[in-house]
Amino acid sequence: MEAKVTIIGAGVIGLAIAEELSKKFNKIFVVEKNKKFGQETSSRNSEVIHSGIYYPTNSLKAKLCVEGNKMLYDFCIKHGIPHSRCGKLVVATNLKEEKILNKILNQAIRNGVKDGQLISREKALELEPEIFCTKALHFPSTGIIDSHGLMKRLEANATINGVSFAYNSEVVKIERIEGGYAITVKENNIQFIFTTEYVINASGLNADQIAKTAGAFQKAYKIHYWKGDYFAVGNGKNKKINRLIYPVPQTNVVGLGIHATLDLNHGMKLGPDSTYLQSNTIDYSIDKKKQTAFLLAAQKYLPFLEFEDLHPDQAGVRPKLQLPGEPVRDFIITKETASGHPNFINLIGLESPGLTSCLAIGHMISKLLDN
């Protein structure tokens, strides 16, 4: 075999897996269709290091997020990656929401998030004098990260350990052969084939298509695209908070509700919202007509905001496994031996908290290859 391991996709997940596996294997290839790493979902997110509070107990999302949170902070400190453990408040604005705070705190505790604290309105206003709330949850372990800096370091570490990166190279076909797989790659309209013992499908929004290319698995995987728009906050209002501020999530809404996040330059963004893209085609345009809805949602807890403080910012697309109205699904990270694809690992539906979980996912894949 020409390669021991081939990783399809150089988003934060493929890069973290490459970095981790490079500690024990030689001949690792990362094949990426874009001209450099992290050009898709990994550069179109909130850059939040989540604590892991909302996900169902024992789900991969909960486990990998809680583990990944700690691993990511340690990695940032070790490699000098800009980050801030700024903390987060989940704010209730009425009695009904206050009751939900207790449920969120209990779920966080079940997930192993130990630092959450229910705080009074007075205490919340000591932390964030400009917000409105009646009670809040404070999670000091939530933070923000320079995701580009993280990916650059992961790529550099992997390269130092001998990983080969093939950019501008799109995987178009995967065939099972004796002892592994033959991968057909298209590079500048030229196709070539190489062989590999292991395949790791970390191709994000395309992961279901790549799985399909490789043949039948037990179940056909189907990713549904859900877009998230952001509006940036200007006019100096971005300086009015120092932590991430989230509303209490509504039970019938997909996503966490319009929340306020910060970046490392103290820029403030509202969003992302969550819109199902029926066409399943990538769309990064921002619908300016949403500005009033974003303002009204955020004014409930950021009363200082005015219409002219907001302007359209970025958008990202989540690869979700559920359709509108269906229950939230967990990440799929699975070795496909039972489906007749030994040494083939699919990672499907890697939406949030994928960035936070990336290093824990690297560890998990490393263990899956051992078994």
Ligand X SMILES: Cc1cc2nc3c(=O)[nH]c(=O)nc-3n(C[C@H](O)[C@H](O)[C@H](O)COP(=O)(O)OP(=O)(O)OC[C@H]3O[C@@H](n4cnc5c(N)ncnc54)[C@H](O)[C@@H]3O)c2cc1C
Contact residues for ligand X (CB under 6 A)? 8-14, 31-34, 38-42, 44-48, 50, 170-171, 202-206, 210, 228, 272, 316-318, 350-356
Residue of 84, 203, 78 lying closest to 153 (CA atoms) = 78
CB closer to ligand X, 180 vs 316:
316
Q: What CA dihedral angle connects 305, 306, 312 and 314, to 10 degrees? A: 0
Cβ–Cβ under 8 Å, residues 8 and 200:
yes
Q: How far is the CB of 28 from ligand X (least distance, A)?
A: 15
Identity of the residue, 204 or 247, whose beta carbon is nearer to ligand X in the bound complex: 204
Helix (H) or strand (E) holding 132: none
**Residue 291, number of CB atoms within 10 A of its CB:** 18
Structure tokens at 22: 């490079």
Closest contact distance (angstroms) between CB of 85 and ligand X is: 14
CB nearer to ligand X: pick between 107 and 206:
206
**Least separation in angstroms between CB 185 and ligand X:** 8
Q: Which is nearer to ligand X, 22 or 41 (CB)?
A: 41
Residue nearest to ligand X as judged by C-beta position: 354
Shortest Å, Cβ 165 to ligand X: 11
Euclidean distance between CA atoms 273 and 256, whole angstroms: 8
Write down the residue that tokens 């403030």 correspond to: 268
Q: Which two tokens stand for residue 216?
A: 């039948």
Minimum CB separation of residue 68 from ligand X in Å reads: 8
* Beta sheet of 83-84, edge-to-edge order: 48-49, 143-145, 83-84
Pick the closer one to ligand X by CB: 135 or 241: 241
